[in-house]
Amino acid sequence: MISVNGNQANSLIQVRGLDKTYRRGNEDIHVLQGLNLDVDQGDFVAFMGPSGSGKTTLLNLLGGLDLPTRGSVTVAGDEITHMSRRRLTQWRARHVGFIFQMYNLIPVLTALQNVELPLLLTRLSRAERRRHVETALAIVGLSDRMQHFPRQLSGGQEQRVAIARAIVADPTFLLCDEPTGDLDRKSADEVMDLLQRLVNEHRKTVLMVTHDPLVARIAKLTLHLEKGVLVEAGARQDAAAGAVS
Amino acid sequence: MKYARLIFANLLRKKTRLALTIGSFAAALFLFALLGVVGNTFSLANGVVSAHRLVITNRTSIINLLPLSYRDQILRVPGVQSITHNNWFGGVYQDPKNFFPQFVIDPQNQRRVYPELIVPKAQWQTFLNDRMGAVVGAATARRFGWKLGDRIPLTTTLYGLAGKVWDFNLDGIYHGTQPQDDQTQFWIQWAYYKESVPPQLQGQVGWYVLRIRNPDDAPRIARAVDRMFINSPNETRTETESAFAAGWVKQFANIKLLILSIGSVVFFTLLLVTGNTMATSVRERTAELAILKAIGFSDRAVLGFILAESLLIALAGCIGLVFAGVLIPALGQPLAGLLPALVVTPAVLGYGVLAAVAVGFASALLPALSARRLRVVDALRRV
């Protein structure tokens, strides 16, 4: 169940009173102000809002890439806002899968090697890593492109490799920052179908920032960031996924 | 090892730049080895000199001779084990370009003072019995294709003997026991020389070389010898072989300063070149490094990747040391006789590798630290 009231007790992701203030010159810019959010496992939430509204900032805070000015983010019982930089890095490796607008694959590595990157941080053997990578690439439908370099793939395929990289270590949740922002409609639909399948078939939790209402519609709930707080834009009843409040 | 593929893939992403950077390293290390070898050669720190030897020359100048009569007096100084005397012959073989050093030696004592230069016993015996005999170092014999029994004609302009052709029989070939031993000398008999030069030169030697029992006694023996001939018409200067050699090479220039200056400039330039390469490489990969950090690679790991790349470039640049090992001895051929053999010692190679590693590390340190400090959020905002 997704909620912005801050009244859920056992949700997977709990955000409480989150503030983020940037200083630009002599001016304080309050990007997020007392933001609350609860997300359960298997939820798919889209964040929308105008440019500069703090969507990416929120994603960065949820992913432990940035620290809030005030407030807390708790994921699966771990309060990440007070972790050291080193612990936060380890936590990210275990819990977060990132998907970016520009794919951000390493151009000198093949699809297989790119997807393998998060597994290099684990104790898995080479053969086990290979098995996991093959599974991830099979899920995104790119088993036949394992040895291709990013420049040999289309934009949609690159993003699917990036998704495989994000899921290969079986993270607790996925953070997607404009995952279709650089894709044509057909590729965007393929990527969104894939994300939806990850939620429905693999019980993945996905939090996504997007500008595209068509893309946002695929999520269970779209939240708007307005003046630093989250506002429900409209719950969508989904019989298969259960109630959304 | 599991990161090796990532490191190598990044290293090979700009092959031309990589090749040029490795080439810079290789050229600098070649030069480093060359300077090191020349430095060693000029300081004769490579073992050609012996702590057991003292050289006695005329205090006025080495071109002034010393009386042969000094020999027995010097030999009586406590601590002196043996003594030999040499004259510079200054001969020309066919063409003045065919330079090699020729010494008139005291055949009875030469080998006692220079035990490291080995002549087969039978050849030495032939030489002793042959007034016109000569013994040559293996390098010179090889250079001119000489064989035992060959007749070697030399001319010299010294000692008022211009135009006279001296014929020598090649009776022996000596070898050094260490690679750096000078194997270019040509030894001829004192007796043959003595009977051919004008009478006033017949009792004059160029310099003496002593072998002493204990190197610790060198200062005392040197003082004793010089005191013995003080206020005589031919005062002596006695010094260790290394000091004598250092004085000889000072004729060329302040080699140490020259080498230090050139070496410093070369390595500072290399530091800038490699530093710039690594900084560019890191700048180009800002987003990729940020992604690595985002997915869980630690700051230290990212720093390690950059340092590892730079160190690999540095180690690949050690190919320059391999070239040095092959080419420098060949480059030294034209200097044969003027200086001891140019030998690339393991120490020079070792210091070369250390220098490469140090430069590789230093040049990557700043880019690596900036990669380590890189904040994912800032980096992704920039791209």
CA-CA-CA-CA dihedral for B99, B101, B103, B109, to nearest 10: -150
Write the ipTM.
Answer: 0.88
State the pLDDT at residue B46.
43
A116-145 tens-digit pLDDT: 999 999 999 999 999 999 999 999 999 999
State the pLDDT at residue B171.
96
Is pLDDT above 90 for A245? no
Residue in the block written with tokens 């006033």: B200
- Nearest C-alpha of chain B: how many angstroms from A241? 29
Does residue A117 come out as left (phi exceeding 0), alpha (psi in the -120 to 50 range) or beta? Answer: alpha
- The SS3 of residue B315 is helix
Q: Has domain A42-65+95-235 been given CATH number 3.30.450.20?
A: no
User: CA B111 to CA B82: how far, in whole Å?
Assistant: 10
- End-to-end Cα distance, chain A: 7
- The SS3 of residue A24 is strand
- Looking at beta carbons, which residues of chain B come within 8 Å of A104? 287-288, 291
Q: Which residues pair with A223 in a beta bridge?
A: A47, A232
| CA nearest to B375 within chain A | A65
User: CA A61 to CA A19: how far, in whole Å?
Assistant: 10
Could you tell me where the DSSP H helices lie in chain A? 55-62, 85-95, 111-116, 126-139, 155-167, 185-202, 213-216
A1-13 tens-digit pLDDT: 677 776 777 889 9
Mean pLDDT over all residues of chain A? 88
User: CA B80 to CA B223: how far, in whole Å?
Assistant: 13
User: CA B66 to CA B20: how far, in whole Å?
Assistant: 58
Look up residue B68 and give its two tokens. 């042969």
- Nearest C-alpha of chain B: how many angstroms from A153? 18
User: CA B349 to CA B14: how far, in whole Å?
Assistant: 29
State the pLDDT at residue A175.
95
Provide block-wise average pLDDT over 10 residues at a time, chain B (383 residues).
88 90 90 83 57 91 91 94 93 88 92 92 94 93 94 84 85 88 90 88 92 91 94 93 72 70 84 86 89 93 93 94 88 61 84 91 91 87 60
- Looking at beta carbons, which residues of chain B come within 8 Å of A118? 295-296
- Looking at beta carbons, which residues of chain A come within 8 Å of B377? 60, 65-66
Say if A117 is an interface residue toward chain B (CB within 8 Å): yes
Contact predicate A73/A81, CB 8 Å: yes
Fill in the DSSP letter of residue A117: G
CA separation, residue A158 to residues A109, A131, A216, B7, B373 (Å): 12, 20, 21, 22, 28
State the pLDDT at residue A51.
84
Give CB contacts under 8 A, 24+ apart, made by B192-201: B192/B131, B192/B132, B192/B166, B193/B87, B193/B89, B193/B104, B196/B161, B196/B164, B196/B166, B197/B159, B197/B160, B197/B161, B198/B159, B198/B160, B201/B65, B201/B159
State the pLDDT at residue A238.
44
- Looking at beta carbons, which residues of chain B come within 8 Å of A20? none
- Nearest C-alpha of chain A: how many angstroms from B260? 41
| CA nearest to A89 within chain B | B296
Contact predicate A205/A12, CB 8 Å: yes
Contact predicate A4/A33, CB 8 Å: no
Angle (CA) B368 B369 B375, round 5°: 105
What is the DSSP pairing of strand B117-118 with strand B165-176? antiparallel
Say if A124 is an interface residue toward chain B (CB within 8 Å): no
User: CA B307 to CA B358: how far, in whole Å?
Assistant: 11
A89-118 tens-digit pLDDT: 999 999 999 999 888 999 999 999 999 999
The partner residue sitting opposite B293, judged by closest CB among A60, A89, A126, is A89
For chain A, percent of residues with pLDDT exceeding 90: 67
Q: Residue ranges of the domains in chain B?
A: 4-45+253-382, 60-234
Contact predicate B287/B381, CB 8 Å: no
User: CA B244 to CA B250: how far, in whole Å?
Assistant: 10
A16-33 tens-digit pLDDT: 999 999 888 888 888 999
> What b-and-e string marks burial along A61-71, b requiring 16 or more CB atoms within 10 Å of the CB?
bbbbbbbbeeb
For A48-79, give the DSSP string: E--TTSSHHHHHHHHTTSS--SEEEEEETTEE
A121 with B294: Cβ contact below 8 A: no
Query: CA B259 from chain center: how many Å?
Result: 13
User: CA B346 to CA B348: how far, in whole Å?
Assistant: 5
A89 with B299: Cβ contact below 8 A: yes
Q: Residue ranges of the domains in chain A?
A: 42-65+95-235
A92 with B3: Cβ contact below 8 A: no
Look up residue B258 and give its two tokens. 């020259």
Look up residue B24 and give its two tokens. 């810079």
> What b-and-e string marks burial along A17-27, b requiring 16 or more CB atoms within 10 Å of the CB?
ebbbeeeeeee
Fill in the DSSP letter of residue A30: E
- Looking at beta carbons, which residues of chain A come within 8 Å of B292? 117
Helices (H) and strands (E) in chain A, counts: 7, 10
A196-212 tens-digit pLDDT: 999 999 899 999 999 88
The partner residue sitting opposite A92, judged by closest CB among B13, B294, B383, is B294
